[in-house]
Structure 1
């Protein structure tokens, strides 16, 4: 049973991250024709497109994809509870699913920044994934770079952003004890 729980957790978590990545790509106006962006759109289209016909975007945000991500987050806890014989409480599932989706968004930002930093050391310029990650993280990192003094080519903006994300995660975890189980 533990192996099934692991596999379901992995599948739900990965798909929520891909859904949130789609929202982030659209919000950052990343290159739609990039192969990585095309993968994200094609991986989410079968589930998202029916919702996009019903739920319009708002202010440049793909609300339909956010709703789908929330539903997948709620569905994760419903499926795992049913599988493990836990009681069903709809309100709790909605709250936990929403908190989990928010936490996954922060987790996604964290890992995109880590991967972007690692790729900047290893991968030569022009890699399609690196270009998209650069487009995604610039709105977050540029305000930090404007405040930091010039350190002679050393860019600490990623480190500061990661510390800030971890601080927010711990701060919210302190306010919401249920956050720790997510």
Structure 2
């Protein structure tokens, strides 16, 4: 058996476990940023899952003006650890401290992807007309409203068809295309 036989499953596990937890930390940050309902059962799950790691970090890195800097730093450090592990597993032989820089474009990409995914789910749910008091629907609206409102003002619904999600998704993809390559180049990220 080749070395890749064991390396590929390890890479998969590192990406999956780190990716899920980092996504939850970023979602928690976004929920706080948009002041989502924290009595929502989904919010409570995210808070309970991330609190054991965030609580001690908040003693060192306090929030300011409603921004949870501890969550941002935690996501950044976790992403840096993930990328350092991946670079070692892939045999890139780079300086593990370089992963601190590589983590920045990776986190920006993840935040944009979370918004893209949330808007897409919101569009799909609008086709089936779900219960507006469903905890998932309410939370999705809380998270996506700040980016949807400007597009809805720019392009109001026409004949009952709302094209604003398409404008938002095109804008997010363009942002990804224009922002990430220079960030990756600046940080020397191989990912």
TM-score normalized by structure 1? 0.92
Q: Tell me which of 48, 68, 83 is aligned to 1:42.
A: 48
Match of 2:74 among 65, 68, 72: 68
1:30, 1:135 within 8 Å by CA — same for their partners in 2? yes
1:110 Cα deviation from its structure 2 partner: 0.8
Which has the greater radius of gyration?
A: 2
Q: Show structure 1 runs of 4+ deviating over 6 A.
A: none
How far off its partner does 1:155 sit?
1.0
Q: Structure 2 regions of 5+ residues with no counterpart?
A: 1-6
Q: 1:129 and 2:155 equivalent?
A: no
Partner of 2:114: 108
Cα displacement string for residues 123-171 of structure 1 (whole angstroms, at most 9, x for unaligned residues): 6212211110001111111111111144022111111111001001111
- Residue 117 of structure 1 pairs with residue 131 of structure 2: no
Q: Note closer, same or farther for the CA distance 1:83–1:180 as it changes in structure 2 (3 Å cut).
A: closer
What is the aligned counterpart of 2:36 among 11, 27, 30?
30
For residues 137 and 43 of structure 1, what CA distance do their matches in structure 2 show? 22
Deviates more, 1:144-153 or 1:99-108: 144-153
1:60-94 deviations in Å (ceiling 9; x for gaps): 11100110000110010122233344324144211
CA 181–84 in structure 1, closer or farther in 2 if over 3 Å, else same: closer
Unaligned stretches of 5+ in structure 1?
none
Distance in 2 separating the partners of 1:115 and 1:35: 18
From 152, 163, 167, give the equivalent of 1:156: 163
Identify which of 5, 14, 19 aligns with 2:11. 5
- When the two chains are superposed, the root-mean-square deviation of aligned CA atoms in Å is 1.9
Change (3 A) 1:14 1:69: same
Are the structure 2 counterparts of residues 163 and 69 from structure 1 closer, same or farther at C-alpha, using a change threshold of 3 Å? Answer: same
Deviation at 1:176?
4.2
Q: Distance in 1 between matches of 2:106 and 2:59?
A: 26
Pick which of 30-39 and 82-91 moved more. Answer: 82-91
